[in-house]
Amino acid sequence: MQRKITRALISVYYKDNLEPIIHLLGKAGVELVSTGGTQQFIEELGYPVIPVETLTGYPSIFGGRVKTLHPAVFGGILFRRNQPEDEQQAVEFGIKPIDLVIVDLYPFEETVAAGGREDEIIEKIDIGGISLIRGAAKNFNDVLIVASREQYGDLLKLLTQKNCSTDLDERKHFAALAFDVTSHYDAAIFSWFNSKQQIPSFKKSIRTGRALRYGENPHQAGRFFGNLDELIEQLHGKELSYNNLVDADAALNLVQEFSDKPAFVVIKHTNACGVATATTVKEAYLKAYQADTTSAFGGVLATNRPVDKEAAEEINKLFFEILVAPGYDAAALELLKTKKNRMILVQKKPLSETRQFKSLLNGVIEQDVDWKTESMADLKTVTRRAPTAEEVKALLFAAKVAKHTKSNTIVLAVDGQLMASGVGQTSRVDALKQAIEKARSFGFDLNGAVMASDAFFPFADCVELAHQAGITAVIQPGGSVRDQDSIDYCDAHHMAMVFTGIRHFKH
């Protein structure tokens, strides 16, 4: 059903890109109704405006909190044109139809993000605007609703093509967009209130996003929701895929653990196959690559320092999917761009999310992000021999890697270099055996190395195997009813072991 627009109510906070719409409506003879700053804006463009106050018979009251909340306004929006009873009541009460509503809500999220005071934030909770949107969207059979300045371009195109007329399908589409706007707005308000109230309710609204080539596998559709451009800038390469994003997230979370010196990580299927710190990016990369020269092929790479030409020359020898860094020298970037499909990314700011969630079993689970990183203060020596200063540095390094590795995991390392890890095993013993075998296969001598575990040892078998492989110090959470068995074995074989009291399961 096509509807000709004869009357429009326009009430917006931001006036950007509104001018061509006003010109189009004004020249088409559409009657314009408005209030406040929007009314002044339209009048300055040279078009007559009916003030909302004239329509309602009431001035704007309570500091502007009540302007449009009146039957003369909402009746014009909500009355059903095809219902005789509604038509009769509209005539009886002198209510004229409103066929187009354009609203841009008060900037609530922007005010919160800018650190506004509570009273400023409260005043940016739009009441009249949100009500106008809901009313017009509900009556999409008769009314076109434009609920955001993001839609001005589409509106202008539609009105131009249809000579200020609209079809039902178009009105219904804009109504759906309107409820997307209002639901997001309400979710933002609730989140602000709930940051202190802690009501047990899960609400997450993200309106921006992008389609992905596919999901985890080619037969699965995939989409990313969020503002990726706020965190990452892509300088080169093909479009990021679902798996690329998952691995890049794992890489950035791990490399962020290291801030005091250049660090480099190599990720494969979210697990680290290479991690190292050094005095230069080049040296850190070479040490990380050495840990597993096989798995690094096709991996996702990340560093916490800008990439210079010397580092790029080494990295360029490897086939990899993604490289993320805080910056690149011009010569380094030129070299890395020689492979057309490589994804070269710049990380603009650190990761800072405090909550994480995922869907499962017909619902969602949510938790705090694991930002806890062990330090010297967390280490409790439980053996007769305390770790040496060099062993302590290696233990803290290994614990950082273990924190970001799939459970069950064992990490073998020296200070500044991952030697091997056992990942995602159903038993801790199997994880250790995998790590030992892998380290040896890449030529590492484990004598004097350290071992980290993401959770406690239920038996002494792991420290026994570690000792036999040459491991001299161990870091683990502790907490097993048989902790003493592991402690006794370490004491009997001059090993050092520290407990942290902190478990880092990762599933």
259: left (phi over 0), alpha (psi -120 to 50) or beta: alpha
The separation between the first and the last C-alpha atoms of the chain, rounded to the nearest angstrom, is: 53
Q: Is 138 a catalytic residue?
A: yes
d(CA 323, CA 265): 10
CB count within 10 Å of CB 379 equals: 19
- What per-residue string of b and e applies to 123-146 under the rule 16 or more CB within 10 Å gives b? bbbbebbbbbbbbbbebbebbbbb
Query: What are the tokens at 116?
Result: 């506004």
d(CA 125, CA 122): 6
d(CA 129, CA 138): 14
The residues facing 272 across adjacent strands are 267
Phi, psi dihedrals of residue 343, rounded to the nearest 5°: -100, 110
Catalytically annotated residue among 269, 337, 393, 433? 269
Catalytically annotated residue among 124, 138, 236, 309? 138
CA distances from 425 to 166, 236, 406, 431, 447 (A): 60, 36, 8, 5, 24
Phi, psi dihedrals of residue 469, rounded to the nearest 5°: -85, -10
d(CA 264, CA 276): 5
Contact indicator for 80, 141 with CB cutoff of 8 Å: yes
DSSP, collapsed to helix, strand or coil, labels residue 289 as helix
Would you name the residues annotated as active-site residues?
Answer: 138, 269
